[in-house]
Structure 1
Amino acid sequence: MRSPRVVALGGGHGLAASLQSLRHLTEEITAIVTVADDGGSSGRLRHEFGILPPGDLRMALAALCEDTAWGHQWSAVLQHRLGGDGELAGHALGNLLIMGLWELLDSPVKGLDLVGRLLNTRGRVLPMCDVPLDIEATVLGADPAAPEEMTVVKGQSRVAATPGRVMSVRIVPDEPPASTQALEAIKLADYVILGPGSWFTSVMPHLLVPELQDALVHTPARRILTLNVGLDDDETQGFTPAEHVEVLSAHAPDLTVDFVIADPAVVRNDEHALREVAAGIGAELVVTPVRKMRRPREHDTLRLAAAYRDVILGG
């Protein structure tokens, strides 16, 4: 039997957790990564050089590095941040490496593939679009002094930290060119995984690119939605697990899902509602422990791998 072809979409720590788990099941992994980051080292490079923000792409590459001394060493190199207080202070070394390769090769995908060869990654990392994106959100109560007022909050870093309730999210430009390699990977996948991750700034953006949403709707792959184990981040403060699924459905009404994976501690008071909402998008709810015991707001790599194994081998 060949290894299943799995495509994981997202960004940041959530996507990294999913990729580290999938490495235990298959080497046929493609990470499709959001390109809307506008903060930190990525934001600085994006605005200064007009490039795709490299940070989430770097994290995905590090998550897929081979489990050897060589892979671990190069993963640490990618993630290392420069110290001091000069112009380079705070930049991740991997971001600078990726940017340099993009300049040499004049191709984001070729540059990422070359870094993958250097790390002997167990999979491939692709940007979801060929151009950097901006995120805009309509937020209720973004100004604590006006809790009933709707405000447009612009920028990934600002949306992620907004104190209000995000009602909807969109991308600028609204019809960006999707990566052709990403579209092909979704078309050929056996399984497609959305989440975990920051819901409005890492998970939803993939559904806002028309070509990507269309590919996700029409792929023959089975679709898995992985819910977060911490539901108290700023951008989804107060959202129940069921409301997370409703948000996805509202932004991609034609998308159906085969499985929704959730930790029992997260759905303890919401399982009935979550099961009904999951059924509404065609999904079976899989409630299984996937979070760390001592750091319950983080996914446990082996537990999440076991959950994916049970769904993939049993589905």
Structure 2
Amino acid sequence: MPLYLRRPESAPSGNPRIVSFGGGHGLYAALRAFRLLTENLTAVVTVADDGGSSGRLREEFGGLPPGDLRMALAALCDDGEWGRNWRDVIQHRFSSEGSLNEHAVGNLLIAALWQILGDHVEGLDWMARLLRTHGRVLPMSSVPLAIEADVELPGGRREVIRGQSRLAATDGQVAQVRLSPPRPPARQETLDAVAQAEVVNLGPGSWYTSVMPHLLVPALADTLYRSQALKILTLNLPGAELETRGLTLAAHLDSLHAHAPRLSFDAIVVDAAAAAEEPGLEASAARLFGAQLWARPLAGRRPQQHDSLKLAACYRDLLLDAGLSVDEQW
């Protein structure tokens, strides 16, 4: 049965307006897939990273952490010589005995643009022009955020863990996630992109530190709830990621619903092999979110990473089923 699409006024035929939320490698895979289907693509990226190069720059300059934003820009580079070379440049990390060790070149370029221009979105737009990206990259909030979570540790002890890098490494069970500041502002450009989208996608990615934080920014969450776009949730592949170790996909859905009970989806995309291991997943998708389950082979060669071409094929079929035309660039 075709999906029911309550969409805004359509973009030019074959180029639906798509917004994809997330961060890190999960968002990278989704963007590499969506850029094969449209030129009207916007990445909305988490800004709570506090580790590695991003954390050091955030601590020194006080702005947004640039790492996940850089990853999204890299995903949107084209596959020509210009795009490949610049993707390699911004992803390159210095190796030295000095203070530049492990800094990503793209993080430094973004931080420089922010310092020169004094505006996060303007700096990202200039990076996008330099890279000739297929789409736009926007932060989910206009201020840097900290993630805080209540975690059940082995032995039954409960602890509050603060910080993205610490939460990502916990071996406990996350019960609740919060942001600090607790009601952070969203950029108007981000809200406008979501309001005008024909398709919005959440995930895949680190569940509590890359996916769920978007729903904890009040203005952004409210705009997403009210959106008439086709709404997609892309679930993670099974794996040993610490923050969700031992968590079933059905439990992923339960935790998301607990944090955002007003949220609904039209489709939940999941790897077919993973879905086969959880026969109750389809019922959970319908009960919690009113969504159809789209189970397709999505795993790549690397463990716990999606294959972007397989994702693109699934998204294409899903969008066509919903009555949207796509501009395939295979």
Question: Same fold judged by TM-score > 0.5?
Answer: yes
Contact 2:41 2:136 in 1 (8 A): yes
Aligned counterparts of 2:222 and 2:73: Cα–Cα separation in 1: 26
Alignment check: 8 A CA contact 1:258 1:283 kept: yes
C-alpha contact 1:135 1:171 (8 A) present in aligned 2: yes
In structure 1, give the amino acid aligned to 2:284.
V
Q: Deviations over 1:211-257 (max 9, x none)?
A: 11101100111110000113421001111111111111111000111
Contact 1:9 1:33 in 2 (8 A): yes
Matched, 1:297 2:304: yes
For residues 234 and 303 of structure 2, what CA distance do their matches in structure 1 show?
A: 15
**2:75 & 2:100 partners in 1: Cα distance?**
24
Residue 163 of structure 1 is aligned with which of 137, 150, 171?
Answer: 171
Unaligned residue ranges in structure 2 (runs of 5+): 1-12, 323-330
- 1:206 aligned residue: 214
2:257 corresponds, among 249, 258, 283, to: 249
Amino acid at match of 2:108: L
**Structure 1 residue 195 and structure 2 residue 203: aligned?**
yes
Structure-1 residue corresponding to 2:49: 37
Shift of 1:2: 4.2
Match of residue 275 from structure 1:
282
The C-alpha deviation readout for 1:141-196, integer Å capped at 9, x for no partner, is 1xx4xx20111001000000001111111100011111111100000000000000
Q: How many residues align?
A: 309
Alpha-carbon contact 2:239-2:303 (below 8 Å) kept: no
Which residue of structure 2 aligns with residue 78 of structure 1?
A: 90
AA at the equivalent of 1:26: T
Q: Is the 8 A contact 1:230 1:296 kept in 2?
A: no
Task: Tell me, yes or no, if structure 1 residue 262 matches structure 2 residue 270.
Answer: yes
Question: 2: CA distance between counterparts of 1:20 and 1:224?
Answer: 16
Query: What is the aligned partner in structure 2 of residue 51 from structure 1?
Result: 63
CA distance in 2, matches of 1:98, 1:282: 40
Q: What does the per-residue CA deviation read over 1:43-100, in whole Å, with 9 as the maximum and x for residues that have no partner? A: 0000111010000000000000122100110111100101111011110010000000
* Cα distance in 2 for residues equivalent to 1:245 and 1:223: 15
* C-alpha distance in 2 between matches for 1:251 and 1:44: 30
Give the gaps of 5 or more residues in structure 1: none
Work out whether residues 231 and 240 of structure 1, in 8 Å CA contact, stay in contact via their aligned partners in 2.
no
Conserved? CA contact 1:35–1:132, under 8 Å? yes
- Superposition RMSD on alpha carbons, in Å? 0.9
Q: Report the equivalent of 2:191.
A: 183
Partner secondary structure for residue 87 of structure 1? coil
Query: What SS is found at the alignment partner of 1:204?
Result: helix
Q: Percent identity?
A: 55
CA distance in structure 2 between the aligned counterparts of 1:196 and 1:309, rounded to whole angstroms:
17
Distance in structure 2 (CA, Å) of the matches to 1:248 and 1:313: 27
2:229 to 221, 227, 231: 221
Does the CA contact (< 8 Å) of 1:230 and 1:298 recur in 2?
no
Which secondary structure state, in structure 2, belongs to the residue aligned with residue 298 of structure 1?
Answer: coil
Q: How many Å separate the matches in 2 of 1:15 and 1:163?
A: 23
SS in 1 for 2:210: helix
The answer for the alignment partner of 1:154 in structure 2 is: 162
What CA distance in whole angstroms lies between the structure 2 residues aligned with 1:49 and 1:296? 35
1:256-294: per-residue Cα shift (whole Å, max 9, x none)? 1110000111122213x21111102110001111111x3
Aligned to 2:142: 130
Aligned with 1:135: secondary structure?
strand
CA distance in 2, matches of 1:267, 1:306: 18
Larger RCO: 1 or 2 (CA < 8 Å, sep 6+):
2
Give the 4+ runs in structure 1 shifted more than 4 A: none
Between the aligned partners of 2:159 and 2:55, the Cα distance in structure 1 is: 23
SS of the residue 2:178 aligns to: strand
